[in-house]
Structure 1
Amino acid sequence: MKLYAGLTILLTIFTLISSANFLRSDSSINTVEDFLDTLINSSHYDRRIRPFFDQHKACNVTMTIHINTISAINEVNMDYNTDLIFRQSWYDPRLNYSGTEWAKRSPEITLHYSLIDRIWVPDSFFRNAKEGKRSDITVPNRLIRIHRDGKVLYSQRLLLKLDCQMKLQKFPLDNQTCVVNIGSYAFGTKDLSFYWDETPNTSAIRVNEDLEMPDFVLSNFEQRYCNRTTATGIRSQLPRVSYIKAIDVWMSACLVFVFAGLLEYALVNVIARKNELKQQVRFSREVIGNRLAQVHFYKKDDTHQTNIETTETLARKTSVTEKNLRSGSITSPLIQNSAISNTTAPSQTPQVILSQQAPVSKTAKPIRDTAQLVDLVSAILFPVAFIVFNIIYWMVYLNMQVEYVLK
């Protein structure tokens, strides 16, 4: 009993002495430097231990993000760059100085960025970050502020390259959903929990009003929770994907129409040239037949003529005959009653009827009828097919719903 009473008295005296020393130290502190040295003195504040560790409670961290810019959106690597201000706040009861004289003098104290290394801060990191760094222009852009009730505000400006797994089935008609995934690197939710700031009339995610992005428009942003019960650990062209994109369908269809147009052009030319060749062969046969008939006739009539026509006259007549055949002025398919009058012996002028009919082409279809028919059908079919393709294409891809899985 005596030993127990002695221990009780000793503990009481020790507590009274310690309180007296604290009050005496608090009353003797005249500068904020001395107060900060006392508040975060390593003798009673260990930055290696998280808040509420001795109470076996989780430390709740509230977050807000202010997005300054979003740039360099890369569909090939599926990432983008962002410049943002990341703010975190939490309560650390070891930094509560509400019962001191300095609580009246300064309800909150903003620390120099060099003092951040002397207090505990969350080990938050961006899970989908490929690269990242703090902004150091012109000084390290870091702020830490301690309130008298022990609330700590930690703000820093970050330059990040974040991964964004894009769904390109509807490209270039796509709407991409990119996440900013934040969590603790070492602690589980039993030790450290992250929450978005739910202060009334305040958005946890703020975006610069003057934000502009090349090729994209920011349509919406929202905050979500993804709680885990374990620690996270370490974890000029389009990209090659395993599915068909909308741009692939469009380009393929356009190529099909282009090549179909080229094939139609080649087909029309082949048909037209083939018809022209047939007509030329038929015409050549007619001309040769007429020439042979004329030569045969003049050979028979040589013995009865006194004035023989010269070769130039025969050639001239032949030329006239060809022109008449081409112009269609000769309507009769045979040469009848061809007579050459003899000026010296009119009584001996013979009349000769050719026994063979010189075949002259009948009135046939125009040379390009078949080619023109193909061209006319193509001129109607191709536009109609392209219009039908556009109707189906836009109906399908404008109504397509792509499922995004936020991880």
Structure 2
Amino acid sequence: MARQFILLYFTFSLNNVGIFGQGGDNPIGRTQRADGWADTQKELETIALFDDILVNYDKRIRPGYGSNSPVRNTVQIYLASFDSLEETKMTYSITIYLRQQWNDPRLAYDDSRELPSNNYLVDKIWVPDLMFGHERKAVYHELTVQNRFVNIDSNGTVQYNARISLSLHCEMDFHRFPMDKQQCGLEVESFRYTTKDLMFNWIETEPAEFKNENLKLPQFELEGLRITECTRVLISGNYTCIGLEFLMNRELGYYLLQTYIPSILLTVISWVSFWIDIKSSPSRVALGITSVLTMITALNGVRGDLPHVSYIKAIDVWFCMCLVFVVTALVEYAIVHYLSSNKLHFWFSEKKASRVSKEKKQSGDSCLTLTIIDKPMKPINGCSDIDNQDENKVWVRGNCSKPQPETYDIGKKIDRVCRIAFPLSFLIFNICYWSYYKIFEFDQAHLTFEE
């Protein structure tokens, strides 16, 4: 059995030798090399070019080292996606395709040959020390392969491409929140080389590309991009820097439905107490306190989505005024209830009171206190006409009492006035508020945008 197995093994080995050929016999056109098999003569030349291009090459030294001219690196960015914008952390996340182009004469080769795009040379050649200003986190994508590659032309021009996800700091301004515009910057600069050794420049045609349909944010709309210059001037030297700014306009729809309309309805509901009877204390107090607590809860909910800033925001102005209307409605009932419970009345003017007294005197009616002298009787209060008759003489002691002035319940009067005054005041406030923050948008110097 063992002899048969050995014979079968040698037979299979001889067949393999016949298939692949020996001594230059290559029926299927493959050539044997020490490190593997190459498909064609062109592939052999390309493999040799990969080896030859790195001969005597040192990536630790920049191109043109020792000359007076810096390496000029042309940068282009394609904005693939705008992932998020977090107001509480003042950060935003994007995914970009970064394209760099510079010339390295040491990588020049015969133009009769061709070097394909590859990621093999990414870590074997000199690459500009590009970094992103205000970067919080950056990630190179490596699924399913490393998302970086280079193209090297025959004249030594290197095109470097990479897909990167960035989390960057953005200095936001919330004065006009939630009707604000945010301007977030992306700065590309050199970490080590000064402007004597390396210069960054945006490509002349479309330095930054994006498609609106791929850049959807829940609350923002990307209005445009702006190219800036941000070269750093430090004690150690000048460092090249170029910038890109994203101008984003916040969409009001979310806050209109979740904040403004509910707060308007809550403010209007607090005015229902003006139609409730003054004696219904539990109803009016419960309505007022519930409105105040609900308004405060809504305000805290909005503030939880924002960083703690020291200045007043547009949403703060809105909620403060709504809270003033709600609290004032509650205080109004306290005043009205106090006036009614203590029976404080509004007295007519002296002119009207004197006119009423004069009319009563002209009518001849008097209100007297009568006491019969010759008989022990209790005083009788009343009004009567007394006839002077000889047979019935009555001695009268006393005088006419003062007429009681007319009175008016001021509590009900205040309620009636508030039914008109509160809605009218709230309407005026809305006109002023929306005119200032939305209709007549005043330009802010740091948010000026130019195409």
| TM-score, normalising length: structure 1 | 0.65
* Distance in 2 separating the partners of 1:60 and 1:376: 78
Q: For 1:177, what is the secondary structure of its paired residue?
A: strand
* Distance in 2 separating the partners of 1:156 and 1:110: 13
Compute the displacement of 1:372 (Å): 2.0
Match of 2:446 in 1: 404
Q: For 2:66, what is the secondary structure of its paired residue?
A: coil
Q: Which of 140, 150, 175 lines up with 1:134 in the alignment?
A: 140
State yes or no: 1:205 paired with 2:209: yes
Question: For the Cα contact (< 8 Å) 2:148–2:163, is it kept in 1?
Answer: yes
Q: For 2:323, what is the secondary structure of its paired residue?
A: helix
Q: Which whole-Å deviations, capped at 9, do the CAs of 1:234-276 have from their partners, x for residues lacking one? A: xx33212232222222222221111111111222233333339
Question: For the Cα contact (< 8 Å) 1:186–1:231, is it kept in 2?
Answer: no
Match of 1:372 in 2: 412
State yes or no: 1:271 paired with 2:339: yes
Q: For 1:179, what is the secondary structure of its paired residue?
A: strand
Compute the displacement of 1:385 (Å): 2.4
* Distance in 1 separating the partners of 2:70 and 2:79: 28
Question: For the Cα contact (< 8 Å) 1:82–1:160, is it kept in 2?
Answer: yes
* Larger relative strand fraction: 2
* Distance in 1 separating the partners of 2:191 and 2:161: 18
Match of 1:87 in 2: 99
Q: Which runs of 5+ in 2 are unaligned?
A: 1-40, 241-303, 346-376, 385-396
Match of 1:39 in 2: 53
Between Structure 1 and Structure 2, whose CA radius of gyration is higher?
1
Q: Which whole-Å deviations, capped at 9, do the CAs of 1:5-49 have from their partners, x for residues lacking one? A: xxxxxxxxxxxxxxxxxxxxxx999431111110122xx211111
Q: Which of 98, 106, 126 lines up with 1:120 in the alignment?
A: 126
Q: For 1:399, what is the secondary structure of its paired residue?
A: coil
More relative contact order, 1 or 2 (CA 8 Å, 6+ apart):
1
Match of 1:101 in 2: 112
Q: Which of 171, 188, 201 lines up with 1:182 in the alignment?
A: 188
State yes or no: 1:59 paired with 2:71: yes
Compute the displacement of 1:362 (Å): 7.9
Question: Residue 396 of structure 1 aligns to which amino acid in structure 2?
Answer: Y
Q: Which of 220, 223, 240 lines up with 2:227 in the alignment?
A: 223
The size of the alignment, in residue pairs, is 302
Question: Residue 223 of structure 1 aligns to which amino acid in structure 2?
Answer: I
Question: Residue 388 of structure 1 aligns to which amino acid in structure 2?
Answer: I
Identity of aligned residues (%): 34
Dislocated runs of 4+, deviation >6 Å: none
* Distance in 1 separating the partners of 2:146 and 2:342: 82
Q: Which of 369, 372, 384 lines up with 2:424 in the alignment?
A: 384
Compute the displacement of 1:117 (Å): 0.9
Q: Which whole-Å deviations, capped at 9, do the CAs of 1:317-362 have from their partners, x for residues lacking one? A: xxxxxxxxxxxxxxxx9599xxxxxxxxxxxxxxxxxx99xx9x98
Question: Residue 81 of structure 1 aligns to which amino acid in structure 2?
Answer: S
Match of 1:246 in 2: 314
Match of 1:256 in 2: 324
Compute the displacement of 1:396 (Å): 3.3
* Distance in 2 separating the partners of 1:54 and 1:101: 30
Q: Which runs of 5+ in 1 are unaligned?
A: 1-26, 278-299, 301-332, 337-354
Compute the displacement of 1:364 (Å): 5.6
1:208–1:249 distance in 2 versus 1, CA, 3 Å: closer
Match of 1:110 in 2: 117
Q: For 1:137, what is the secondary structure of its paired residue?
A: coil
* Distance in 2 separating the partners of 1:76 and 1:232: 31
Compute the displacement of 1:388 (Å): 2.8
State yes or no: 1:146 paired with 2:214: no
Match of 1:173 in 2: 179
Q: For 1:148, what is the secondary structure of its paired residue?
A: coil
Question: Residue 226 of structure 2 aligns to which amino acid in structure 1?
Answer: E
Question: For the Cα contact (< 8 Å) 1:110–1:146, is it kept in 2?
Answer: yes
1:191–1:85 distance in 2 versus 1, CA, 3 Å: same
Compute the displacement of 1:100 (Å): 4.8
Question: For the Cα contact (< 8 Å) 2:76–2:100, is it kept in 1?
Answer: yes
Compute the displacement of 1:203 (Å): 4.6
Task: Write out aligned runs for 1:210-359 (5 A).
Answer: 210-228=214-232, 230=237, 236-275=304-343, 334=382
